[in-house]
Structure 1
Amino acid sequence: MKYFWIVVLLITIPIYAQQQDEKQIREIYKEALSNGKGYTWLNYLSNQIGARLSGSIQAEKAVSYTKSIMDSLGLDKVMLQPVKVPKWVRGIPEFAYLESSSGFTNNVPVRALGGSVATPMSGIKAKVVEVQGIEELKALGTSEIEGKIVFFNKPMDPTIIYTFDAYAKVADQRYSGAVEASKYGAVGVIVRSLTLRLDDFPHTGAMSYGDIPLENRIPAAAISTNGAELLSTSLKLNPDIQFFFRQNCKTLPDVESYNVIGEIRGSTYPDQIMVVGAHLDSWDLGDGSHDDGAGVVQSMEVLRLLKATGYKPKRTIRVVLYMNEENGLRGATTYAAEAGKKRENHIFALESDSGGFSPRGFTFDTDQGNFAKVLGWKKLFEPYMVHFFEQGFSGADIGPLKKDKIVLAGLRPDSQRYFDHHHSENDVFKHINKRELELGAAAMASLVYLFDTYGLNNSNN
């Protein structure tokens, strides 16, 4: 008879656990969709504070604002973690045109790439050489490039369904184009904006000069996709046209900023830390609503949702709003370094940095054992259409925490519209959908709940 009851228990306990999980996740979604706070928080962050470039006054206002929100949530701890960040400023608006012959010009939209040097005050005007990526520079050599402006015009591949993969295949021309072109005597660089859409919004982003001396650095700017199409077509008709651009950007000494951190201390395993993170900084175009204001408010909303549904975490759940993801990743590296010094035991980290669009699932950077455990939770997410679970990249800010015994995860929203907004003046609050934003926060809170409840294959439960 005792074996009968053992069998009954073996069957009943998993069914009861699943029912409890379904109930908790249902409560999380109900709270997020009926009483969500993230949209209101993001409205203030975007429209009252605005773009939050590292080292700017707006970035510091964002630090104060998000700290005040976490203070109001009644968390066990809220703190600011000092971080030294770069301070690059754009200066007066950029100006550019292409000149087909003396006196005949067409203005085109450009924006300096983040970290670029300025042009001379009078600007730069030179002939243009168009290339489809960095590799073409080597084939052309100094004789074809010296004294000219290099125009990198390799577009994102529209046949790649996951747009982040398309972006990754061409981002090197933005990041390294200037340093490579300078080796062949180029006087400047113009880079096609990294978006699949044809529009008039230049998309900025980080670039690097490596270790080349300041006097050898050449200015670099992004041109809108419509501008790139015009320039490319014009060069085919007249290879001798000239391009003019002027920009006034500069890099100032590093300044102090902060990561914003809030946590609920675990009731059973307080030394096991689970991080939910996003980056608080943005580029200085638009207001950074999708990149990454959405992730910021979703991360804070995770803690609010767990508290509002009466859930008591077993492990410490910590929100980290990182500073300086866009042009340095110093917030992330500082956080990981401090965690290492304190010998903190991070077992899980989740990042939201792919926009506030409808969530489709998660990517996981982990071993096969823990990934198999995660796959067992897919059915819990199917009613919410968030069941795309795949091994892969998690997120830039949680990357420095990577070690053998940790699961890194990234929220994966629908990616098709993300690069319409990314790093441009088109990344503004009016393009945020309230329901989609709330669905993302609920999905994140649900995954955090499951990891907190069941732990990892290699952790004590």
Structure 2
Amino acid sequence: MRLKLFTLLLTIVPLIGLARQEDSLKIRAIANEILLHGQAYENLRILTKQVGARLTGSPQTYKAEAWGQQALQQAGADRVISQSCLVPHWIRGGKDEAWIAAPGKKNQPLDILALGNTVGTGPKGIQAPVVLVNSFEELEQKKAGLKGKIVFYNYKFNATYVRTFEAYRDAVGYRGSGPSQAARYGAVAVLIRSMSHAADNHPHTGSTRYNDSFPKIPAAAMGLQDADRLAALLEKEPVNVFLKTHGKMLPDTVAHNIIGEITGSEFPDEIITVGGHLDSWDAAEGAHDDGSGCVQSIEILRAFKAIGYKPKRTIRVVLFANEENGLRGGSRYAEEARTKKEKHIFALESDAGGFTPRGFGFTISPELLKKVQGWLPLLKPYGICELEQGGGGSDIGPLYRELGTPLAGLLPDSQRYFDIHHARSDVFEAVNKRELELGAVSMAALIYLVDKYGL
């Protein structure tokens, strides 16, 4: 028996070694294609400079969809389709303005951006005393004095979180539910400290979710330098602020997920999804959020076609609609997958910026994670050091909830992401070509391994 086992091991070990060598060579071929002949950076330039900001429902939405269809066709997709969905249509409506109004003194401007999905102040604007609130607990303590006031949430990013997404998750509730919580106690408007730890003064917008039980009030994000200035002033004396915004929610409209795919050669009914979201906030070009994820996903398809790799399973690139202020595209994609009884074996999203890749976060069983971690030696040459539990993406999350699909999200270095997230500084020039391409390499390598070995 021992001799048979020893003989079996002598047979298996060389085969494992040969498979590992074959995988290493294939991934190297993919990497060389992307690093030497990549189109991701040029695709991103066209998306950001020729299409620009892509707020859901804007004319740029449909220009971006046309760009996506063309880019996928040029990448060699076997077929390209658009999947329609009803999406919210919020407009900013004009220039957002705010200033500190002190009688007998010159107005002191505050750099602000209205939060997405919020109502405007009306054409006359709002001028009211400001109440400084550093936490929701403090809001409760001061609730009796909030009627007719502007609440200023000055909750700061926790600088001790090395993983900056933890700081974002900790603070983002003030943007999401802060306006309704303030309105509950009679506040007439809200200002928030931007969801950032940047050193500049750019305001960072983002989506708000109103609680229909309370009045809808205007809300805007403020640049960090102005937030510090206003907070310091409020510690000394009462302050009135004038606020004028023009936000308005129009009736739902139609947008589209843009989908390109390579049909699987052995298991065409098994689908691997990879993508990013095509929409962006209107303040900037949406280069990191999430133009980068879109062009990286397209680049995977292009590289596979360029080196002649024929995947066993169907590889589907999805440029999702409406992630920023509704998540309707991701929900629609999952709903149709469930209705058609599609077999989705894996989904990967890039929505954390086009910075240097560090790893992947997975939402899978411990057994599958152990299997995936066995691939780490093949990914390490391209900068991937972590394959950990916990990850995915907003757009692919509905696949997990609807179908139980295993998920993963690319984890780039996050230190600079919230310097530009949802701000006017999220432009093409903020993206490094090499970092963007290495992210595409890492994603393509993971998709190749999932395609070959399954989950």
Superposed pair shares fold, TM > 0.5: yes
In structure 2, how many angstroms separate the alpha carbons of the residues matched to 1:151 and 1:111? 14
In structure 2, the residue matched to 1:459 is none
In structure 2, how many angstroms separate the alpha carbons of the residues matched to 1:102 and 1:430? 43
Q: Deviation at 1:210?
A: 2.1
In structure 1, the residue matched to 2:110 is 108
In structure 2, the residue matched to 1:289 is 287
Q: Deviation at 1:209?
A: 1.0
Matched, 1:61 2:63: yes
Secondary structure class of the residue paired with 2:359:
strand
In structure 2, the residue matched to 1:364 is 362
Q: Deviation at 1:207?
A: 0.2
Where do residues 60-459 of structure 1 align in structure 2 (5 Å cutoff)? 60-141=62-143, 143-212=144-213, 216-238=215-237, 240-402=238-400, 406-456=405-455
In structure 2, the residue matched to 1:8 is 10
Percent identical pairs in the alignment equals 48
Q: Deviation at 1:97?
A: 0.6
In structure 1, how many angstroms separate the alpha carbons of the residues matched to 2:390 and 2:60? 33
Relative to structure 1, the CA distance from residue 88 to residue 3 in structure 2 (aligned partners, 3 Å threshold; closer, same or farther) is: closer
In structure 2, how many angstroms separate the alpha carbons of the residues matched to 1:110 and 1:90? 12
In structure 2, how many angstroms separate the alpha carbons of the residues matched to 1:313 and 1:79? 20
Where do residues 19-34 of structure 1 align in structure 2 (5 Å cutoff)? 19-34=21-36
**8 Å CA contact 2:382, 2:441 repeated in 1:** no
In structure 1, how many angstroms separate the alpha carbons of the residues matched to 2:395 and 2:100? 39
Deviation readout 1:149-188 (Å, 9 max, x if unpaired) = 0000001011100000000001000011110000101010
Q: Deviation at 1:385?
A: 1.8
Q: Deviation at 1:9?
A: 2.0
**8 Å CA contact 1:133, 1:170 repeated in 2:** no
Secondary structure class of the residue paired with 2:177:
helix
In structure 2, how many angstroms separate the alpha carbons of the residues matched to 1:327 and 1:5? 60
Secondary structure class of the residue paired with 2:41:
helix
Deviation readout 1:339-375 (Å, 9 max, x if unpaired) = 0000000010000000000000100000011000011
Quote the RMSD (CA, aligned, Å).
1.4
Relative to structure 1, the CA distance from residue 303 to residue 176 in structure 2 (aligned partners, 3 Å threshold; closer, same or farther) is: same
Secondary structure class of the residue paired with 1:374:
helix
Count of residues in Structure 1 that have an aligned counterpart in Structure 2: 452
Q: Deviation at 1:137?
A: 1.5
**8 Å CA contact 1:379, 1:387 repeated in 2:** no
Identify which range, 386-395 or 3-12, moves more after superposition.
3-12
In structure 2, how many angstroms separate the alpha carbons of the residues matched to 1:313 and 1:351? 19
Secondary structure class of the residue paired with 1:18:
helix
Secondary structure class of the residue paired with 1:290:
helix
Where do 5+ consecutive residues of structure 1 fail to align?
457-461
**8 Å CA contact 2:146, 2:186 repeated in 1:** yes
Q: Deviation at 1:134?
A: 2.2
In structure 2, how many angstroms separate the alpha carbons of the residues matched to 1:66 and 1:208? 29
Q: Deviation at 1:95?
A: 1.0
- TM-score using structure 1 length: 0.96
In structure 2, how many angstroms separate the alpha carbons of the residues matched to 1:315 and 1:127? 61
| Counterpart residue type for residue 175 of structure 1 | G
**8 Å CA contact 1:347, 1:405 repeated in 2:** no
In structure 2, how many angstroms separate the alpha carbons of the residues matched to 1:93 and 1:378? 49
| Counterpart residue type for residue 427 of structure 2 | V
In structure 2, how many angstroms separate the alpha carbons of the residues matched to 1:367 and 1:56? 40
Q: Deviation at 1:405?
A: 5.2
In structure 1, how many angstroms separate the alpha carbons of the residues matched to 2:150 and 2:199? 23
In structure 2, how many angstroms separate the alpha carbons of the residues matched to 1:203 and 1:224? 7
**8 Å CA contact 2:76, 2:301 repeated in 1:** no
